[in-house]
Amino acid sequence: MKLQGKIVFVTGASAGIGAATAMAFAGEGAKLLLAARRVEKLAEIADEARKYGAQDIHTFALDVRDNDAVVAAIAALPEGWREIEVLVNNAGLSRGLEKVYEGKISDWDEMIDTNVKGLLYVTRAVVPGMVERKSGHVINLGSIAGHITYPNGAVYCATKAAEKAINDGLRQDVLGTPIRVTSVDPGMVQTDFSLVRFHGDEDRAGNVYKGVKALTAEDIADVILWAATRPAHVNIADVVLTPVQQANPYMLVRD
């Protein structure tokens, strides 16, 4: 699939995997629809993506947890920006690392509302257009956490297990159309993921990556782009990737 001039919509595009994904598709000459809550960060990402070769860029503020805002944003897309070819459902986060019986309800709400409900809201708003146009590719960000649950991570793992079920279910539901559905499921990626998980505790977040050559946001963007650029008859269902030093959430070898 060639992406020159195609519209690629990335949620959570202001940092990390979302921002790296914007650069990867920019390099293919795509037209980028970039959304995130932080519009100032998004403006910086857009400037950078222009240098990478994006044909055009449209940014807008979006909190995927707000279905009314999602529906309104998609309905308000300007002329020339409505035919979304690739949707990268990247917006997501982890909050807290605690036993279920000690976890913070507000952390759970944030994770479930973003990783599960937000992903569903954006999918529900965008995929009907793909079905109508008989063209499109949904790429969801999963995690190894959706395959194996780890202690103190039950709720985050549950959101990623839900992502896996939604990814598989959507692929079944669009069967008979040319639409493709892919999940990209990383292990340890060095981004702000741990800083967000630990509510800004830099020491704790830094320790997560100590002695490990973790995956980078660019590694993940590379896989997303690879899935999107396979021939139109090829659907990559699921890609699981970890650093070489990590076998699964339990098994990690540090230097």
Contact positions vs ligand 8X3 (CB under 6 A): 143-145, 187-188, 249
Pick the closer one to ligand 8X3 by CB: 136 or 249. 249
* 150 labelled catalytic: no
CB 11 within 8 A of CB 62: yes
Q: How far is the CB of 105 from ligand 8X3 (least distance, A)?
A: 20
CB 139 to ligand 8X3: min, Å: 16
We find the least distance from the C-beta atom of residue 144 to ligand 8X3, in angstroms, to be: 5
Nearer to ligand 8X3, 145 or 179 (CB): 145
Of 52, 101, 150, 156, the active-site residue reads 156
Q: Please state the closest distance from residue 250 (CB atom) to ligand 8X3, in A.
A: 9
Catalytically active residues, by annotation: 156
